[in-house]
Structure 1
Amino acid sequence: MSSTEARPKQRRRADAERSIVRIVAAARSCLGRDPDATIDDIAKAAGVGRMTLYGHFPNRAELVEAALADAMRAGDETLSAVDLGGDAREALTRLLGSSWSLVAESAALLQAAQGVLPAGRLRTLHAAPAERMAQLVRRGQDDGVFRTDLPVTWLVSAVHYLLNGAAEEQRAGRLDPADAAGVVTATVRSVLVPPAPGAAASS
C-alpha cells in the first residue's frame, strides 16, 4: 500500500475515533440529565446524524454501556487519587466524599444502564470501586475500627446501596444536596462501626 493510500485511511480512522468520543461524551451528558434521553437527543448533542451514531453503536444498550464504562473509567481515576493512608475511618470519609460526588453525578446514567444492561455486566463495571472499598474495610477490620461480624462483601454492597439510595433521594428532592455528603458519610460510618460487646450478629 502506498503512503498516499494509507493517509486517507488513517484520516478516516481518526475521524471515526473523534466521532465516537463525541458520541460517548454526549451520551454521558444527556443520560446524566435524563435516563430516558433518546438516540435523537444524543446524536443532536454529539453533532452527528443517526446513521453515523448507529454506525458506531448499533443499539441503545451498546451506547449506554459505552457511556457508563467511560464514566466509570473517569471515576476510577478520581478515586485512585484519594489518599487512603492513615486511620481507616478518616480514609473512609475521604473516599466517601469522592465516591458520593461521582455517584450523584452519574445516578441518572446508572438508571439508564439498569434498564438495558444485565446485572452481571453492571457488577463488572463497578468491580474496581467495589474492590477499593473492600480493601479499606478489611484494613479497618484488621485495625479493629470496623465491624468483623458481617461479611466484607455484604458491607461493601450496603455502602453501594446507600450511595445510590442517597442519589435517588436527592434527585427526588427529599435530600438537600448541601447535606447529602454528610448524611451519606454518617450513615456509612454507623453501618461499619463495631457492635457493642455481646451485640454482634449471629453467625
Structure 2
Amino acid sequence: MATTSRSTKRADAARNIERALDAAITCLSQRPNATMAEIAKEAGIGRVTLYAHFASRAELLEAVVTRVIEAGERTLSGIDLDGDPRGALTRLITGSWQLVDQARSIIAAAEGEIPPERMRALHGSPAARVEALIARGRQEGSIRADMPATWQVAVLHQILHGAGAEVAAGRLEPNEAPGLIITTVNAILDPH
C-alpha cells in the first residue's frame, strides 16, 4: 500500500510540474514579467506547490527555457541541412526564426534572470548545429574563413535575438524578419 501511495504522489508531482511548465509558457509568452503567483494560478496549483517544485522564479525560467529549447531541437532536427551550406543555413535560419519568434517573451524573461553563461550552455545543442554547418561551408569555400567560427555562430545568434527584440518593440513585422536576417547573415558570411 505504501508503494502505491508513493507512486500516486510521484504521479501527482509530475502532473503538477507539467502544469506549472505549461502555465509558465502561457503566462511568460503574454507577459515576460509574470509572477510566480500568476503562474501558479494559471496552472491551477497553489504557490506553495509551485515553490515546492521550483524554489525560485529563475529555477522555473531555466526549466521553461530548457523545455522550449528541447521542443525547438525536435523541430530543427527535421530541417534538411544537406547540400549547399548557404542554402542549408537559409533553411536553418528560417526554422530558427520561427522558434525565436514564438519564444521571444520567454527569452526576454529568462535573459533577466538566468546568467548569460547558463543561457549559452542551454543553447549549446542548437549552436553546435550551426557551428557544424558553418564549418562545412568554410571548408567548401562558401562561407568566409577569416574570422573564428564561434564568432560567426555568436553573431548569427545575436541577429536572431535582435530581430526578436525589434519585433517586440514594434519596429519590425515578424514576417519581414527572416528575409532581413538571411540578408544580414549572408553579407557577414560571404567569402567574397
Task: Tell me the TM-score normalized by structure 2.
Answer: 0.97
Whether the aligned pair in 1 keeps the contact of 2:101 and 2:174 (CA below 8 Å) is no
Task: Return the offset for 1:18.
Answer: 0.7
The 5 A counterparts of 1:66-77 are: 66-77=63-74
The yes-or-no answer on 1:185 pairing with 2:192 is: no
1:21-66 deviation line (CA, Å, top 9, x unaligned):
1101111221122110111111111111111111111111111111
Q: Secondary structure at the residue paired with 1:36?
A: coil
Q: Secondary structure at the residue paired with 1:116?
A: coil
Q: What corresponds to 2:115 in structure 1?
A: 118
1:17 to 3, 14, 18: 14
1:126-184 deviation line (CA, Å, top 9, x unaligned):
10111100000010111111001111010000000100000000111111122111111
Q: What corresponds to 1:201 in structure 2?
A: none
Whole-Å Cα distance in 1 between the matches of residues 157 and 186 of structure 2?
A: 13
Determine what percentage of the aligned residue pairs are the same residue.
46
Give the root-mean-square deviation of aligned CA atoms. 1.0
Whether the aligned pair in 1 keeps the contact of 2:100 and 2:160 (CA below 8 Å) is yes
Q: What corresponds to 1:168 in structure 2?
A: 165
Q: Secondary structure at the residue paired with 2:13?
A: helix
Whether the aligned pair in 1 keeps the contact of 2:20 and 2:40 (CA below 8 Å) is yes
Whole-Å Cα distance in 2 between the matches of residues 181 and 47 of structure 1?
A: 37
The yes-or-no answer on 1:141 pairing with 2:141 is: no
Whole-Å Cα distance in 2 between the matches of residues 193 and 26 of structure 1?
A: 43
| Bigger Rg, which one | 1
Q: Secondary structure at the residue paired with 1:170?
A: helix
Q: Secondary structure at the residue paired with 1:173?
A: coil
Whole-Å Cα distance in 2 between the matches of residues 34 and 142 of structure 1?
A: 43
2:91 to 91, 94, 101: 94
Q: What corresponds to 1:194 in structure 2?
A: 191
Amino acid in the other structure paired with 1:28? I
Task: Return the offset for 1:84.
Answer: 0.3
Whole-Å Cα distance in 2 between the matches of residues 176 and 61 of structure 1?
A: 30
Q: Secondary structure at the residue paired with 1:167?
A: helix
Whole-Å Cα distance in 1 between the matches of residues 50 and 70 of structure 2?
A: 22
Whole-Å Cα distance in 2 between the matches of residues 94 and 88 of structure 1?
A: 10
Aligned length: 192
Amino acid in the other structure paired with 2:179? G
Structure 2 residues not aligned, in runs of 5+: none
Runs of 4+ in structure 1 over 2 Å off: none
